[in-house]
């Protein structure tokens, strides 16, 4: 019996383990110095002015939505093909997610569909699978809206030569540090921004809205004094998680390069197979993050199911990313339907995510390719 090959897997080195152990021996295991150290290293990597670390990618999206001033009555454009959190962050703030269909050329939201949904407070373009979304296009399609990029698949990706999450991109960019993503802290997330105002809001929001340093002098009542300035959450990340994050970050370049090598190998070995579509490539001057390698089985939904089940039976941990969010029972209960989302529906009937992670080797790629070829013609 050959080993199970997951679609994604973290890499944890002895160095990572030592960094976490050292952090656990330090006096402060949360709210200590390692959080700011990690934020500095992360901000430097993507070239951002600010990085605010929080407890998950979902917390990052919620924190960004609060900074953007999203509230009751606001409309927020989101593509249907993404993890639920991309849309949930609007619901958390009492706002209305408005779905805008994807393009089958990118699997990202089509700016024309953002323009079609009307006035927006914000848009949450998702850089799906690691292919940078067209932020300029979305900005032009939603004049005045705050652009929150869901970059959870895209740490290390480049848009027009610039890192996702840095200047020239969205107003706020959210990352996840879940073990399936590019680097991990177990659970964790980061928001990057160029805005001092957004960064200040987010640092308050992640810690109950409580400010110990900047109380008004006239309200000072003694050494215990602090102020809750806004309704925040406890979205803090710990020091030992950030120690892991800083250690992981040292490998990000090599890992993104490796993901691109695996993708190139898949492309070469899967080229020209009838009934199989390969995922969109990054345009010239951009770099794909390849969190996912999504192929599409074109023949029928029955064939896709057979290929999916066959790969799983062969010990290959494929997945479908994603069930369109409007199909989720919670969203259906809010009145959402599949009407008008032809591209998302077609994508959902065809997609399969193949294994891709830095620890894979050519033998693993060959194994996936051989099974896929067999099942497509079986
Ligand atoms: C992983 C992911 C999230 C949520 O991140 P968590 O850290 O699991 O909360 C949000 N959006 C997308 C696109 C993701 O892939």
What are the mean pLDDT values of the chain's consecutive 10-residue runs (378 residues total)?
Answer: 87 98 97 97 98 98 98 98 98 98 98 96 98 98 98 98 97 98 98 98 97 76 88 98 98 98 98 96 97 98 98 98 98 98 98 98 97 94
CB 43 within 8 A of CB 49: yes
Which of 7, 54, 55, 57 to probe ligand 1 with, by most ligand atoms within 8 A of CB? 57
- pTM of the entire predicted model: 0.97
> What per-residue confidence (pLDDT) applies to 214?
73
- Annotated active-site positions, please? 181
Cα dist. 342→103, 305, 348 in Å?
10, 20, 10
What CA–CA distance (Å, rounded) separates 320 from 308?
A: 9
Residues with CB under 6 A from ligand 1: 56-58, 82-83, 85-86, 126, 150, 152-153, 176, 178, 189
> What per-residue confidence (pLDDT) applies to 212?
80
What CA–CA distance (Å, rounded) separates 188 from 75?
A: 27
What CA–CA distance (Å, rounded) separates 234 from 239?
A: 15
> What per-residue confidence (pLDDT) applies to 260?
98
Signed CA dihedral, 266, 270, 272, 278: sign only: negative
CB 54 within 8 A of CB 206: yes
Which of 56, 58, 109, 235 to probe ligand 1 with, by most ligand atoms within 8 A of CB? 58
> What per-residue confidence (pLDDT) applies to 150?
98
> What per-residue confidence (pLDDT) applies to 220?
77
What CA–CA distance (Å, rounded) separates 356 from 347?
A: 20
Query: Which residue's CA is the closest to the ligand 1 atom numbered 6?
Result: 57
HSE of 32 in the Cβ direction (CA atoms, 13 Å)?
A: 16
> What per-residue confidence (pLDDT) applies to 223?
81
């Amino acid at each position: 019996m050959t080993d199970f090959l997951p679609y994604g897997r973290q890499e944890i080195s002895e160095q990572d383990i030592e960094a976490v152990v050292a952090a656990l021996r330090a006096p402060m295991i949360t709210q200590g110095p390692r959080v700011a150290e990690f934020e500095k290293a992360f901000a430097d990597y993507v070239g951002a002015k600010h990085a605010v670390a929080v407890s998950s990618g979902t917390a990052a999206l919620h924190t960004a939505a609060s900074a953007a001033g999203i509230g009751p009555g606001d409309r927020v454009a989101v593509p249907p093909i993404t993890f639920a959190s991309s849309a949930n962050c609007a619901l958390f703030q009492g706002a209305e997610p408005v779905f805008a269909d994807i393009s089958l050329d990118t699997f990202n939201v089509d700016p024309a569909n953002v323009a079609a949904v009307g006035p927006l407070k914000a848009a949450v373009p998702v850089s799906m699978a690691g292919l940078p979304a067209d932020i300029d296009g979305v900005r032009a399609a939603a004049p005045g809206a705050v652009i929150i990029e869901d970059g959870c698949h895209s740490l290390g990706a480049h848009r027009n030569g610039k890192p996702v999450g840095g200047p020239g991109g969205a107003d706020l960019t959210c990352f996840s540090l879940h073990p399936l993503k590019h680097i991990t802290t177990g659970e964790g997330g980061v928001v990057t921004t160029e805005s001092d105002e957004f960064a200040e809001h987010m640092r308050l929001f992640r810690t109950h809205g409580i400010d110990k340093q900047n109380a008004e002098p006239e309200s000072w009542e003694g050494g215990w004094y602090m102020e809750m300035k806004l309704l925040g959450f406890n979205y803090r990340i710990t020091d030992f998680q950030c120690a892991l994050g800083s250690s992981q970050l040292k490998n990000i370049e090599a890992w993104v390069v490796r993901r691109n090598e695996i993708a190139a190998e898949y492309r070469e070995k899967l080229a020209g197979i009838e009934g199989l579509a390969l995922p969109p490539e990054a345009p010239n001057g951009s770099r794909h993050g390849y969190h996912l390698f999504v192929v599409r089985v074109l023949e029928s939904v029955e064939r896709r199911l057979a290929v999916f089940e066959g790969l799983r039976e062969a010990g290959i941990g494929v997945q479908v990313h994603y069930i369109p969010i409007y199909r989720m029972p919670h969203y259906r209960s809010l009145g959402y339907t599949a009407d008008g989302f032809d591209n998302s529906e077609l994508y959902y009937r065809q997609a399969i995510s193949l294994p891709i992670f830095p620890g894979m080797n050519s033998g693993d790629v060959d194994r996936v390719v051989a099974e896929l070829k067999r099942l497509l013609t079986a």
